Amino acid sequence: MNELIINTHDELYDFIAKYSQDSSDLKIQHIGFGEALSNLKIKYKGDGYNGSLTASSMEGIIEFQKSLYRVAAQALYGVDNATRLTQKDKEFLALNFSVDDGCTELLATLSNFFEKLGENMDSKHKMVVMCVIAALITGGVVYKIYSDNGVAQSQEETRIKLEQERTKQIEILLKKNADLGRIQSHIENGVKSIVQSAAGADEITYFGYEFNSSVISAITERAKRTPTTAEIINSTFKVTQINTAESALFKFLLKNTLDEKEFTATLESSEFDAEKKLALCSAAVSNNSINLTVSVTRANENIRAARIEAVGEVSSTNT
């Protein structure tokens, strides 16, 4: 088997930059990652973090794990919901943390996670996607977290600017690929969960990136000020993807024809007759639009959850 092992961030970003644009074939069958990219280290400093974790910090780690489950579900099955993963999947993807002697430094390997994502990597596109996910997890979302919270940190400023420059190609891919956009959001939320759950810490280090107390406070306060809102959307949608793996809960990737924004919405199978479900499937197959009523939950401009409440007429016009 032709295998490529990527050992550094420079190699990772070089691969993404080259093969996301290069039209030539990629003559490898598998990608692996060296220790610098596979070994996750999270270090806490401050009162209550002397070789032990607070209950709140443990909750943050659990939320981070849940975020990785969502990433895996999206990457492997195209579904924005971790319930698509089997119990066997979750057991294989679970991070097993150990605590380093003498300090509160959590150590875990992402080897199984990357190995699972590497299954059926039978195209250059899939390998690029896998490398984008690795880049985001190992630090690519950090500069965005800093930027979104309007804070700067002198000892990290140079590195953050470098990360921002290196991820320009990733930003282009994120705009083109809705699945990658959702994956970025899950990873970002997972890292923020680690930071927010340790509000009393003086410093947290994630993959070598430092969050000092002022940054931790800024991120925590911003999270408190980000309420969720519910609304009903009555619009015309394109159905761009269907997942019926679960008989009781269908999932549809919808694109609003008014603003071109995509999001995943669920449909309770028992609440709709066969005619309505067939109308949705027909709209997807024929690339026609369909009138839907969808309830959504937002945090800022991001749709956190969506549910199809009513199915209307299918447009006969192809747009």
Pairing of strands 203-206, 39-45: antiparallel
78-92, 215-229, 272-286, 294-308: the lowest-pLDDT one: 215-229
Mean local confidence (pLDDT), 149-176:
67
Residue 154, pLDDT above cutoff 60? no
> In the structure encoding, which two tokens stand for residue 63, read together?
């939320």
Q: Does domain 228-318 have CATH number 3.30.300?
A: no
- Could you tell me which residue, 57 or 226, shows the higher pLDDT? 57
Please, where are the H alpha helices in the chain?
9-19, 35-38, 55-77, 87-93, 111-117, 124-135, 142-148, 154-166, 168-176, 178-196, 213-224, 274-286
- Which amino acid, residue 219? I
110 pLDDT band, cuts 50/70/90, is very high
Q: Which residues pair with 255 in a beta bridge?
A: 238, 262
Candidates 251, 237, 213, 253; CA nearest to 291 is: 237
pLDDT given at position 187: 94
Residue 314, pLDDT above cutoff 50? yes
174 pLDDT band, cuts 50/70/90, is confident
Q: Half-sphere exposure of 213 toward its Cβ, with a 13 Å CA cutoff? A: 6
Sign of the dihedral through C-alpha 155, 156, 162, 164 = negative
Mean local confidence (pLDDT), 50-67:
86
Match 């340790």 to its residue by tokens: 198
For 172, other C-beta atoms within 10 Å of its C-beta total 12
291 pLDDT band, cuts 50/70/90, is very high
Candidates 102, 140, 133, 97; CA nearest to 115 is: 133
Residue 168, pLDDT above cutoff 90? no
Sequence-distant (6+) residues with CB within 8 A of 238 are 254, 255, 257, 283, 287, 289, 290
DSSP code string of 249-312: EEEEEEEETTT--EEEEEEEGGGS-HHHHHHHHHHHHHTEEEEEEEEEEEETTEEEEEEEEEEE
pLDDT given at position 5: 94
Residue 102, pLDDT above cutoff 60? no
Mean local confidence (pLDDT), 235-264:
85
Q: Half-sphere exposure of 282 toward its Cβ, with a 13 Å CA cutoff? A: 14
Residues of the chain with CATH 2.40.50: 228-318
What's the CA gap between 136 and 130, in Å, rounded? 10
Scored b (16 or more CB within 10 A) or e, 268-282 reads eeeebeeeeeebbee
Residue 206, pLDDT above cutoff 80? yes
For the stretch 13-38, pLDDT in tens is 999 988 887 666 777 888 999 999 99
CB 208 within 8 A of CB 137: no
Mean local confidence (pLDDT), 131-156:
78
- Could you tell me which residue, 170 or 158, shows the higher pLDDT? 170
Residue 155, pLDDT above cutoff 60? no
- Quick one: what percent of the chain has pLDDT higher than 90? 33
Q: Which residues pair with 32 in a beta bridge?
A: 5
- Quick one: what percent of the chain has pLDDT higher than 70? 88
Task: Give the Å distances, CA to CA, from 96 to 65, 88, 209.
Answer: 10, 15, 21
41 pLDDT band, cuts 50/70/90, is very high
CB 130 within 8 A of CB 118: yes
Terminal CA-CA length for the chain? 44
Mean local confidence (pLDDT), 297-301:
75
Residue 234, pLDDT above cutoff 80? yes
pLDDT given at position 38: 96
319 pLDDT band, cuts 50/70/90, is very low
pLDDT given at position 313: 85
